[in-house]
Amino acid sequence: MLLPALAGAQTAVDSQLAEIREQSRFVPDKALAQLLKLQGEAQNESAATRAELINQLSLARMRLGQNEAALPLADELIAFGRQQRSDAIIAKGLLAKAYVLFAMTDVKGAHQFAFESDRLAQTTSDLALRVQAALSAGQAYAEQGNFPPALGKMQGAVELARRLDDLVPLAAALNSQARLYTQMKEYEQGFAALDELIAVAGKLQSPGRLAMAKSTEYGLAIESRQTRRALRALQDGLELERRLGAQRMIAVTLVNLSDSYLKEQDYARTLQYANESLQVSRRSNDSATEATALVNIGQAYLGMGRLADGKRSFEAGLAFYERANSQPDLQAVLIEYGMALERAGDLRGAVAAYHRERAISNQLFERQRQQAVLELQEKYETEKKQRQIELLRRENQVKGAELDNRRLQQRVWWLLALVFALAAVIVGLLYRKVRHANAQLEVKNLELKAQSALDPLTSLYNRRHFQDFMRSQHLPAAHQPELRKAHGDDIVGALFLLDVDHFKHVNDTYGHAAGDAVLRMIAEHLRIALRETDMIVRWGGEEFLAFLPAIPRHGIDEVARRILSSISSQAVLYQGRSISVKVSLGFSPFPLVPGEDGAALPWERAVNLVDMALYLAKAHGRNRAYGVRGFHNFAQTSMEAIEQDLERAWRAGFVDLTVVLGASADGAPGEPAAEQPAPADKVSPAGAPAALRSGAG
């Protein structure tokens, strides 16, 4: 990120610091050596000059991976600012600390200090510092996925930078703005910012700034599917970076080159560039780039059929994201891992990766739900306070009216009766308004209760409501035929759990707004496909759950087929493009009775079995449904063994599975096709599909 310009009159030390400042970004080792030489001279300089020296020492050590030395320097700068009672120096120290914490993978702490620095910096007259702080706060918002405030901060920083004579802050602001537009998939605006950035870098005659622009151009081009332009930008940038000797930038460009060749399935070149990046990033202590290189090496090995090497490299890369606690990045890497294992034929490993990704997705969804509830509560409390203020104001009006009445009584005794009548009318009106306010309060309470049970995007029930509902039910035992028979047919409940196939592809290709439109379409067609008495729940992310309280046992497969057909036959029109999706299903009758003692499984374990059936559907081709019909020879096994590996239990004959295929269920492009039984046929181990008989692992 950009470093602030020095304020006040320029001394010889100030001039040297100004020259070193830009050099530090690209070749921090050389910059650090010059900064150490300046320490003696700076002792007699102004507070602003000494503060800038400490700031640059901290950032140079951070860029060299010496975070343990950089952090105390940032704290020293904050303490120096407080001693000098300078908000500008304190803000600069907070910003330096944010950078070091981010490099140490403390993302939450880095964001906290970035926001605090921005609030303080905007109260100062240092325009360069305000640009830098606003950019850092905008990047923090973007890393949280909160794009509206991020864009506001970036646009404000660009406008501030245009007021400076120095073009370096403007180059930094335009670069950050173009990267944000890339994240937001606003490619046209991103290329407009990039064109201005390249023009500014040309005026600066800075190979480093031009190399940064080429890196940003690569991101824009690869996201907008201009692969040739992306590759050319990487090659041009690498040439500039090698000329500068900017080791960290070289490592990033090399790993991006490996990623480009990985997309073309050129695994030899992928390994070449990824291994080069790995060596450079390790020399420069760049853990994030090292992790990305390890992931690319793992994907290349898996593509070449070297499963053991691929898994080992992938897991080494994943360890960095787990340490960094960067859940969105970890989620994306786990999806790539699962897809790579699936293409390599390791279905068991793919399912395990998908399970890990699903757990993270559920955590993120739960956080979003809690945030929505807190926002509703805050809104309710605000409205309640406003109502209380309004009532107090009216009460004051009544008291004022009563005082006026007393004065009138003293002066005009013959108007006493009329005054009492008027007072009665006023009290009656106020009483009516109080009653109306109480009625509105009751309506608001009911609305809040309803909103806490519904998913705000789809208006379906949410997971918490379903859990509360199931805990409140007293479901009948399975062995009560006089209660479970109607007209000679076995009436049961049923659970259906479905997941959207390739939903990440929809978000990556069309944007998250298109993904939301797909989820709303699925919710609407689930309402059409099911009955009003059936409970439909948004289970989490792109997962939906349906609970049917009463259905003939022989009709469960038909409901699964109807759900598959209803969704796959529809398309969402989004920005002039038609988006079609399919889903995978897991289902079972409910309650499930594994043994002969008549004891049914708790609903939580039944949902867990249905989830395992869903992942079998995912692992064996998608666009299909796997159902758990029942159990056999349960005395020879246990529920724990079945839950540990559903497919193995099925092959051993302990579980009775059924398969319902969706329309044209041959697998998505790039997925291995597997021989499947006829739709809705009972599946037994002897008649298993080829992919199931060979095992997932």
Q: What is the pLDDT of residues 558-574, one digit of tens each?
A: 999 999 999 999 889 98
Q: Which residues are within 8 A (CB) of 494 and not within 5 positions of it... i.e. 6 or more apart?
A: 547, 548, 551, 556, 559, 587, 588, 589, 590
Cα–Cα distance, 602 to 630 (Å, whole number): 15
Mean pLDDT over 667-676 rounds to 36
Same domain, 443 and 476: no
The verdict on 473 and 433 lying in the same domain is no
In a domain, 668, yes or no: yes
- Last residue in a domain, options 409, 432, 453: 453
Residue 626 has pLDDT above 70, yes or no: yes
Six-digit token string for 286: 């760049």
Beta strands in 519-570 (DSSP E): 535-540, 543-552
Q: Which residue has the higher pLDDT, 646 or 8?
A: 646
Please indicate whether residue 696 or residue 347 has the higher confidence score (pLDDT): 347
Confidence band of 388 (pLDDT split at 50, 70, 90): confident
Query: In this structure, are 659 and 523 located in the same domain?
Result: yes
Residues 422 and 470 grouped into a single domain: no
Q: How far apart are CA 119 and CA 55, in angstroms?
A: 19
- As a whole-number percent, the residues of the chain with pLDDT over 90 amount to 31
Instruction: Say which range, 68-82, 368-382, 570-584, 620-634, has the weakest mean pLDDT.
Output: 368-382
Mean pLDDT of 470-479: 61
**Cβ neighbours for 62, distance < 8 A, ≥ 6 positions apart:** 70, 96, 99, 100, 103
User: Residue 7: its pLDDT value, please?
Assistant: 42
Least confident of 141-155, 191-205, 275-289, 522-536: 275-289
Using DSSP, state whether 537 is helix, strand or coil: strand
Sequence-separated (6 or more) residues with CB below 8 Å from residue 660: 557, 560, 561, 564, 585, 624, 625, 627, 679, 680
Backbone angles phi, psi at 616, to 5 degrees: -65, -40
| More confident of the two residues 119 and 669 | 119
What integer is the mean pLDDT of 335-364? 79
437 vs 248, higher pLDDT? 248
pLDDT band at 381 (very low <50, low <70, confident <90, very high): confident
pLDDT mean across residues, the chain = 82
Give the domain-ending residue among 431, 453, 475. Answer: 453
Task: Select the more confidently predicted residue: 695 or 194.
Answer: 194
Dist CA 172 CA 5 (whole Å): 13
User: pLDDT digit string (tens) for 30-84?
Assistant: 888 888 888 888 788 888 888 888 998 999 898 888 899 989 999 999 999 999 9
Residues 560 and 679 in one domain: yes
Weakest mean pLDDT among 74-78, 130-134, 417-421: 417-421
**Do 470 and 572 belong together in one domain?**
yes
User: Minimal CA–CA distance to 264: which of 227, 230, 317?
Assistant: 227
At 687 the pLDDT is: 38
Q: Position 550: which residue type?
A: A
Tell me, what CATH number does 641's domain have? 3.30.70.270
Instruction: Give the other-Cβ count within 10 Å of 678's Cβ.
Output: 8
- pLDDT of 113 reads 94
The pLDDT assigned to 1 comes to 39
Contacts of 510 (CB under 8 A, 6+ apart): 574, 575, 577, 579
Do residues 669 and 588 both lie within one domain?
Answer: yes
Co-location of 496 and 557 in the same domain: yes
Per-residue pLDDT at 133 exceeds 80 = yes
Does residue 263 lie within any of the structural domains? no
Confidence of residue 372 (pLDDT cuts 50, 70, 90): low
Enter the pTM of the model: 0.48
Q: Same domain for 348 and 436?
A: yes
Q: Are strands 535-540 and 461-462 parallel, antiparallel or unpaired?
A: parallel
pLDDT at 3 over 50: no
Pairing relationship of beta strands 485-486 and 461-462 according to DSSP bridges: unpaired
Q: Is the pLDDT of residue 166 over 80?
A: yes
Whether residue 376 sits in one domain with residue 354? yes
Residue 354 in this model has a pLDDT that exceeds 80: no
Same domain, 413 and 542: no
Domain count, the chain: 2
Residue with the bigger pLDDT between 324 and 634: it is 634
607 pLDDT above the threshold of 90: yes
Average pLDDT, stretch 454-461? Answer: 89
- Euclidean distance between the first and the last CA atom of the chain, given in angstroms as a whole number: 46
CA distance 127 to 123: 10
pLDDT of residue 132: 92
Confidence band of 617 (pLDDT split at 50, 70, 90): very high
* DSSP, res 596: T
Whether residue 250 lies inside any domain: the answer is no
627: in domain:
yes
**404, 430, 453 - which closes a domain:** 453
Same domain, 330 and 383: yes
How many alpha carbons fall within 13 Å on the CB side of residue 119? Answer: 6
Mean pLDDT along residues 397-408: 78
State the Cα–Cα distance between residues 174 and 170, nearest whole angstrom. Answer: 6
Residue 664 lies in a domain: yes
Asked if residues 623 and 661 have their Cβ atoms less than 8 Å apart, the reply is: yes
Q: Is 374 contained in some domain?
A: yes
pLDDT band at 434 (very low <50, low <70, confident <90, very high): low
For 15-24, 49-58, 127-136, 191-200, which range has the lowest pLDDT when averaged over its residues?
15-24
pLDDT tier for residue 686 given thresholds of 50, 70 and 90: very low
Which residues, 6 or more positions from 482, have their beta carbon under 8 angstroms from its beta carbon? none
423 is in which domain, residue-wise? 326-453
Q: Report whether pLDDT(95) > 90.
A: yes
